[in-house]
């Protein structure tokens, strides 16, 4: 699957289909976050950092194993309380050219672009439709906040508050999974900061990110419970298929099949 730049010349008579589910994200173990997302994301999923060169980028942790997003059900529904912005913009995205310019693009996955069905890209006046404008605005605001986020994290990093986070957690089969390559904030080091450093961090707007990341770590056990729930769903699908000879996913229409509303 690749992306195509959107232009009047290529898309004047084309239409697009909004995604009906999140199956496209079912293999994403991590999702990039920006600062504005932290308050809501912290209430729904673990937040960590990954090293990007000499810097760090914040991510939501969505599973236990590479290639498995536990927040996407077998029928493609998102079952979490918060959906990262990086997925909400799909099938649209912003890409950078070699000279640093941002280009508005769309995925060329099957069923996304059509000559007949869906919403038009452009009005008869050759202006982008309001739907396309709204999506572009959403993506540009997210990209702008990403730059702000990286500046905030630079200040946090300056005071050596980001440390390796080796996660050991049991999966659905009760075997222990070890996740390497993630980082977290050092609460002890934060509490020992001198007043001058604390002032700099506060002025940079970093306090909400620090508190949200520390709060979000309580959600790690939830990943195990989601893995167990998904494993049970897989068994049910297999049983239905064995009995009927074909796959039946109708039972997943009930939101109570896989839910973590009451999980801690």
In the 8-state DSSP scheme, what is residue 127? P
Nearest to 69 by CA among 180, 235, 230, 252: 230
Tell me what pLDDT residue 242 has.
58
Torsion of CA 107, 70, 62, 69, to 10 degrees: -30
Nearest to 84 by CA among 103, 68, 102, 62: 62
Q: Is 200 strand, coil or helix?
A: helix
d(CA 231, CA 139): 34
Indicate the pTM of the whole model: 0.85
Tell me what pLDDT residue 172 has.
63
Torsion of CA 148, 154, 155, 159, to 10 degrees: 160
d(CA 141, CA 93): 12
- Of the CA atoms within 13 Å of residue 145, those in its CB half-sphere come to 17
d(CA 88, CA 85): 5
Tell me what pLDDT residue 248 has.
47
Token pair belonging to 4:
């195509």
Phi and psi based region of residue 76 (left: phi greater than 0; alpha: psi -120 to 50; beta: remaining): left
Tell me what pLDDT residue 258 has.
29
Q: Is 81 strand, coil or helix?
A: coil
Q: Is 173 exposed, middle or buried (0-12, 13-18, 19+ CB in 10 A)?
A: exposed
d(CA 260, CA 65): 19
**pLDDT, mean of each 10-residue run, the chain (264 residues):** 90 93 96 98 97 97 93 94 96 88 93 94 95 96 96 97 91 76 97 97 97 97 90 75 53 35 32
Token pair belonging to 140:
């540009």
């Amino acid at each position: 699957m690749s992306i195509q730049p959107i232009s009047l010349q290529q898309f004047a008579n084309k239409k697009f289909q909004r995604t009906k589910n999140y199956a496209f994200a079912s293999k994403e173990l991590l999702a990039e976050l920006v600062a504005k997302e932290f308050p809501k994301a912290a209430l729904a999923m673990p937040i960590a950092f990954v090293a990007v060169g000499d810097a760090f980028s914040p991510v939501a942790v969505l599973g236990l194993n590479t290639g498995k997003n536990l927040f996407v059900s077998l029928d493609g529904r998102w079952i979490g309380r918060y959906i990262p912005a990086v997925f909400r913009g799909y099938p649209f995205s912003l890409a950078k050219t070699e000279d640093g310019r941002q280009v508005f693009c769309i995925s060329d996955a099957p069923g996304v672009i059509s000559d007949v069905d869906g919403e038009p890209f452009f009005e008869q006046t050759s202006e982008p439709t309001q739907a396309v404008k709204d999506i572009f605005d959403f993506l540009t605001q997210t990209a702008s906040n990403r730059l702000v986020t990286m500046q905030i994290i630079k200040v946090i990093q300056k005071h050596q508050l980001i440390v390796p986070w080796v996660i050991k957690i049991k999966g659905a089969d009760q075997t222990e999974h070890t996740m390497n390559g993630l980082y977290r904030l050092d609460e002890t080091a934060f509490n020992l900061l001198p007043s001058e450093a604390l002032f700099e961090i506060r002025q940079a707007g970093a306090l909400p990110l620090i508190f949200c990341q520390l709060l979000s770590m309580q959600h790690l056990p939830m990943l195990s419970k989601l893995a167990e729930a998904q494993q049970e769903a897989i068994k049910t699908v297999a049983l239905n298929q064995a009995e009927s000879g074909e796959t039946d996913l109708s039972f997943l229409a009930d939101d109570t099949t896989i839910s973590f509303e009451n999980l801690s």
